[in-house]
Amino acid sequence: MSAPGFSETNAFVAVLERKSFTRAATQLGLSPARVSELIRSLEERLGVRLVERTTRSVAPTAAGERLLARLRPVLDEYHAALDSLNDFRAKPAGTLRLTVPPPAAEFLLAPVVTQFLKTYPEIKLDISVEDALTDIVAERYDAGIRPGERVARDMIALRIGNPMQVVVVASPTYLAERGTPKTPQDLERHNCIRIRFSSGVFLPWRFGSKRRSLEVQVDGSLVVNDSALAKHPNLRSLTR
């Protein structure tokens, strides 16, 4: 015996509660003939008569009365479960998991996180700051922030900020001791702080203009994997 479908049991409950095939059909948005067909199909599947029909009334059999008593709480719970989703349509709620690179966390998220949480108090932010380009879908993140050129073609992307310009900086003490580089190529002779990603790849030192771009191979006595440390004022090397 195959299990009855939801449409059959729903029609059964509606008919007995409304005490009419016509009124049940109106409630369900079906024709009376279709409701009668569903009840007949349910009885055939279960092998027992559930509803007594006359031209004047509709009433449950003993089996139908027992089934109705057991089904009513189940259907109530079913509809309550669906109604509970209205909270998500009415206002944003739940946990929002984000994966972002360190610069985006510092310059884009940090200034707005507090206001965001005040605006949406039902949302819990779970932010993972990592330099690796984590697979957003595979790692079950809701969203991520990526450089424009690193966004996969099949991802839904929205621009959230202006292009970020990266500059080379150095402490005044270092420049006084070693001199100020005049061209990108001069950096090859300076003690530069290099940033290494968790993948082992170094952050490239690229320079560009409207006409051309140039990548300089720099070296130095300090390698870090944290951009905040690389920019610390006590460090006297050049950093990008």
Q: What is the DSSP string of 159-188?
A: --SPPPPP--B--HHHHHHH----SGGGGG
User: Are the C-beta atoms of 24 and 18 separated by less than 8 Å?
Assistant: yes
- For 90-150, CATH gives 3.40.190.10
Q: What is the pLDDT of residue 88?
A: 66
Taking the chain (240 residues) in runs of 10, the rounded mean pLDDT of each run is: 79 91 91 92 91 85 92 86 75 88 86 92 91 83 82 79 82 90 92 87 83 88 86 72
Return d(Cα 19, Cα 65) in angstroms, integer.
13
Q: What is the pLDDT of residue 3?
A: 72
Q: Where do the domains of the chain lie?
A: 6-84, 90-150, 172-239
Alpha helices in 47-178 (DSSP H): 62-83, 86-90, 102-104, 113-119, 172-178
Beta bridge partners of 219: 191
pTM over 0.75: no
Q: What is the pLDDT of residue 132?
A: 79
* Cβ-Cβ contacts under 8 Å for 123 (sequence gap 6 or more): 92, 93, 94, 95, 96, 116, 117
Return d(Cα 171, Cα 49) in angstroms, integer.
90
User: Are the C-beta atoms of 93 and 87 separated by less than 8 Å?
Assistant: yes
- The alpha carbon of 224 is separated from its chain's Cα centroid by a whole number of angstroms, namely 31
Domain 6-84: which topology? Arc Repressor Mutant, subunit A (1.10.10)
Q: Which amino acid is located at 142 in the chain? A: D
